[in-house]
Structure 1
Amino acid sequence: MLPQWYLYSHGLNILEDIENRYVGSQESSIMNVYLKQTLAGATWPPPWRAFAKERPEVAQALEIKWQTQPLPNNGLVVRKDVPQALVDAVGSLLFQLHTHETGRQILAAMELSRFEAANYATYQPVREFLKKFEQQVRPIR
């Protein structure tokens, strides 16, 4: 949705001016551009960097044209029937990964510096974006 918002906010009617394709993976999006199946594709930085490292010859043939503003992501979600003690224990482990070498190695492989505790307010920008996107661009449900 962020790429569609970017296009919309720069004057494109994303429902009429372009054909939207949902291809199933970040790599597939990149390869669709490389193979000239699409004129442009969207991905996010960690998968792009991983792809560029694994397939530098393909990445060199492509150009990053623009980047959207970030939103909070990667929330830890659990079912309502999971005991709170287990949720707290998993959260504690994740929030402390950056404090020891093994944890830093795990985080580095994911291109993250750390996990941070969040709350309802942390995701307010996401809720605001979704509301604005649905009002101005297209339904999301």
Structure 2
Amino acid sequence: MGLALAGRAIPEARASEAPLVMGIFPRRQATLTNELYGPLAAYLSRELGRELRLVTAKDFDAFWEGVEHRRFDIVHYNQFHYVRSADKYRVIAHNEEFGTGTVAGALYVRKDSGITSISQLRGRKIVFGGGTDAMMSYILPSYLLLQAGLKPADYETVFSKNPPNSLISLYHSQADASGAGDILIDLPVVREAMDTNTVMHLGMTERVKHLPWAVRKDMPQALATRIQTLLVGLGKHDEGRAILARAEMTGFGAARDADYDPHRRIIHKVMPDLVIPR
């Protein structure tokens, strides 16, 4: 199924309780994902008093298979994943990165490209990160293009393995533009791989709620509430702040389903034939 056990934290849990499985979407490559979220998994495992397994996926398709089959008890994924799985999962929290709980989709170009408007991307090559299910790196940038009067047939679409690689590909002049989240340029994995001063935002969408965390809908309410409380409370103590820093986050915010209605509206514009559950 393409899923891999990346790590585990084993407390003195009651033998009758099955391990909780926490799935993390392939926003970054698997080894880095394990390094970033391993401390969080260990903390939740200890505080909940039961075994918790951190699981990664080699790509978005393998990850989505895990979501579809409800293999994850706790899942961190993008906004598109959540709205498509809202009949199976209940959102409880969202990321806060660089001090904010919202993000925007963006189109990037090289500063030396001479491109100053989105309309100039007609006939050009645009690299998106991940695939057509990438909310920040495909759906929101595609919405920007639609707003500028450009449909998919009006430009060449290519995909990188993940969002950071889309911006790195642009840096190496492998495309004329890149679709990604507005904060991607600030991520350490990107800054370490390229000179971010060579690229710029060509345009950005409205700001929407950040990446969600959800639990299975059949999870007992008391357990779901406890997990939400632990996540949202991380910024209140030193250990939690260290865990957040390792995950390249500044906090968690509590989330509810209605927070993702703006995403549903945008998805419908980009993918009008897609049926979205509630």
Short-chain TM bin: 0.7 to 0.9
Q: Does 1:54 align with 2:192?
A: yes
Structure 2 Cα separation of the partners of residues 92 and 119 of structure 1: 14
Taking CA–CA contacts closer than 8 Å with sequence separation of 6 or more, which of the two structures ends up with the larger relative contact order? 2
Residue 94 of structure 1: CA displacement? Answer: 0.5
Tell me the TM-score normalized by structure 1. 0.78
Structure 2 Cα separation of the partners of residues 39 and 24 of structure 1: 17
Q: Name 2:141's counterpart in structure 1.
A: 3
Q: Deviations over 1:29-84 (max 9, x none)?
A: 0121122221011222443212453235x323323322222221322222234333
The residue matched to 2:177 in structure 1 has which SS?
Answer: coil
Structure 2 Cα separation of the partners of residues 68 and 78 of structure 1: 28
- Contact 1:29–1:41 (CA under 8 A) maintained in structure 2: yes
* Identical residues among aligned pairs (%): 29
More helix by share: 1
Number of aligned residue pairs: 136
The residue matched to 1:4 in structure 2 has which SS?
Answer: helix
- Contact 1:51–1:59 (CA under 8 A) maintained in structure 2: no
Residue 10 of structure 1: CA displacement? Answer: 1.2
User: Considering only aligned residues, what root-mean-square deviation do their CA atoms show, in Å?
Assistant: 2.3
Tell me the TM-score normalized by structure 2. 0.43
More strand by share: 2
Q: Deviations over 1:84-120 (max 9, x none)?
A: 3322221110011121122223334445443222222
Paired residues for 1:42-121 under 5 Å: 42-49=179-186, 50-55=188-193, 58-121=195-258
Q: Does 1:18 align with 2:155?
A: yes
Structure 1 Cα separation of the partners of residues 182 and 256 of structure 2: 25
Structure 2 counterpart of 1:102, one-letter code: E
- Contact 2:164–2:190 (CA under 8 A) maintained in structure 1: no
Unaligned runs of 5+ in 2: 1-138
Q: Name 2:170's counterpart in structure 1.
A: 33
Structure 1 counterpart of 2:191, one-letter code: K
Change (3 A) 1:129 1:64: closer
The residue matched to 1:36 in structure 2 has which SS?
Answer: coil
